[in-house]
Amino acid sequence: MSKTYTVAILGATGAVGHELLELLESRHFPLAELKLLASPRSAGQTLAFKGENIAVEAVDENSFNNVDILLASAGGSTSQAWAHKAVDAGAVVIDNSSAFRMNPDVPLVVPEVNPDAVAKHKGIIANPNCTTILMAVAIYPLHQVKKIQRIVAATYQSASGAGAKAMAEVQAQASAILMGEKPPTDIFPYPLAFNLFPHNTPLNDMGYCEEEMKMVNETRKIFAAPDIRVTATCVRVPVLRAHSEAINLEFAEPFSAHEAREILNKAPGVKLVEDWQANYFPMPVDATGCDEVLVGRIREDISHPCGLELWLCGDQIRKGAALNAVQIAELLVEKNIVKPAPAIASR
Ligand code: A2P
């Protein structure tokens, strides 16, 4: 009989948690048991999985007994509080938060880019930032052919990146505005419906927000390219789900749009969406629910002889979070390395 695994989802009631459930079921992950964990607020709630209702438990010290893989998607502070306890209990943690991403002992993995990095885990593997995952899938195939020197990214990020409550808030804002009422702003600092604003994560001394610096630092780590130059402007837009990104790439030598298109047409995790006659290119509504990153509008940069422009859309909850995490879990199973190596050095 083939091996099966006990998997726990921490943050099962959230937007990414729901998608993790769906993916474990639809991708037939070899499960022995599935445990659903969240905050005490959700204890007793049930969630459907494979035709059964599974009760959600409040996470506590005993939650990780016999758990082989913990998929954590309950925010950075919750991961900080529980990840090491799960590792100590014998689980491998695939963490969707930013808590451990830049820790040198923690592999940061996009399976289409650096699958072999999973083997170096010491108990925790980090799932990268959503905008970074989507960009990495789309541009790494080009980087393999001619090294990228510089990336200039502008993002158009949906409400889903801020969680299920944020998605509901945008809908409530839209209804309120259409009714001529004041839109609620309990989750977002400003109305997002019929508006947009620069990503509202904390700013550093250089004026870059955290989200932008995640794209810079995480891309370097995933590509194992510490010198690659990256700059980004991240913007929250009134789209419910699926992020979009305008990417400008600079190479050391010219890269034709034709060659880039041929490469991306065969690239894992990428779907080319280009109808130049109809002016039809990737849109968030089309990317919603898709496993692939949709890429289009590939064109040579008229302002630089070695520049290339492209546009992408990807489902932030799926490939930007839950799918990437499940693919990492599948890699662990495939490589038969579920049990962690000795405890992680730095905490
Ligand atoms: P809960 O629903 O009980 O609050 P989203 O990113 O969509 O907002 O989801 C966040 C997820 O993280 C939810 O499942 C939420 O559970 C969970 N969560 C938030 N805070 C905690 C916590 N302190 N302990 C455990 N789970 C938490």
How far is CA 90 from its chain centroid? 25
Q: Which tens digit of pLDDT belongs to each residue from 195-213?
A: 999 999 999 999 999 999 9
The token pair at 170 is 């945008």
Q: Verify whether ligand 1 is closer than 6 Å to residue 81 (CB atom).
A: no
Domain with CATH 3.30.360.10 in the chain: 131-316
Q: Are 157 and 199 in contact (CB under 8 A)?
A: yes
Q: Measured in angstroms, how far is the CA atom of residue 328 from the centroid of ligand 1?
A: 22
Q: Measured in angstroms, how far is the CA atom of residue 107 from the centroid of ligand 1?
A: 24
> Which pairing describes strands 307-314 and 293-300: parallel, antiparallel, or unpaired?
antiparallel
Query: What is the dotted CATH code of the domain comprising 131-316?
Result: 3.30.360.10
Residue nearest to atom 24 of ligand 1 (CA): 39
Per-residue confidence band for 2, with pLDDT thresholds at 50, 70 and 90 = confident
Tell me the mean pLDDT in the region 33-39: 98
Query: Structure pTM?
Result: 0.96
Q: Which DSSP category does 162 fall into?
A: G
Does residue 345 carry a pLDDT above 60? no
CB atoms under 10 Å from CB of 48, counted, come to 11
Distance CA 325, CA 99 (A): 15
Q: Verify whether ligand 1 is closer than 6 Å to residue 324 (CB atom).
A: no
SS3 154: strand
How far is CA 181 from its chain centroid? 34
The token pair at 151 is 């990336």
The token pair at 19 is 């998608």
Q: Measured in angstroms, how far is the CA atom of residue 161 from the centroid of ligand 1?
A: 14
Q: Which of 112, 117, 154 lies closest to 133, judged by CA?
A: 112
Helices (H), the chain: 15-26, 76-88, 130-145, 164-178, 210-223, 257-265, 284-287, 323-334
Domain with CATH 3.40.50.720 in the chain: 5-128+322-334
Q: Which tens digit of pLDDT belongs to each residue from 322-332?
A: 999 999 999 99
| Radius of gyration, alpha carbons of the chain | 20
Q: Verify whether ligand 1 is closer than 6 Å to residue 165 (CB atom).
A: yes
Tell me the mean pLDDT in the region 66-78: 97
Ligand 1 pocket test, candidate residues 9, 20, 39, 129, most atoms within 8 A of CB: 39
Helices (H), 146-209: 164-178
Predicted confidence at residue 340, as pLDDT, reads 52
Q: Which tens digit of pLDDT belongs to each residue from 261-297?
A: 999 999 999 999 999 999 999 999 999 999 999 999 9
SS3 327: helix
Q: Which tens digit of pLDDT belongs to each residue from 110-153?
A: 999 999 999 999 999 999 999 999 999 999 999 999 999 999 99
Catalytic residue set: 130, 243
Ligand 1 pocket test, candidate residues 13, 165, 318, most atoms within 8 A of CB: 13
Distance CA 88, CA 31 (A): 21
Residues facing residue 203 across a β-bridge:
209
Q: Region of 223 please: left (phi>0), alpha (psi -120 to 50) or beta.
A: alpha
Query: What is the dotted CATH code of the domain comprising 5-128+322-334?
Result: 3.40.50.720
Q: Which of 316, 307, 161, 158 lies closest to 247, judged by CA?
A: 307
Q: Verify whether ligand 1 is closer than 6 Å to residue 74 (CB atom).
A: yes
Work out which ligand 1 atom sits closest to the CA atom of 165.
Answer: 8
Q: Verify whether ligand 1 is closer than 6 Å to residue 111 (CB atom).
A: no
Predicted confidence at residue 29, as pLDDT, reads 98
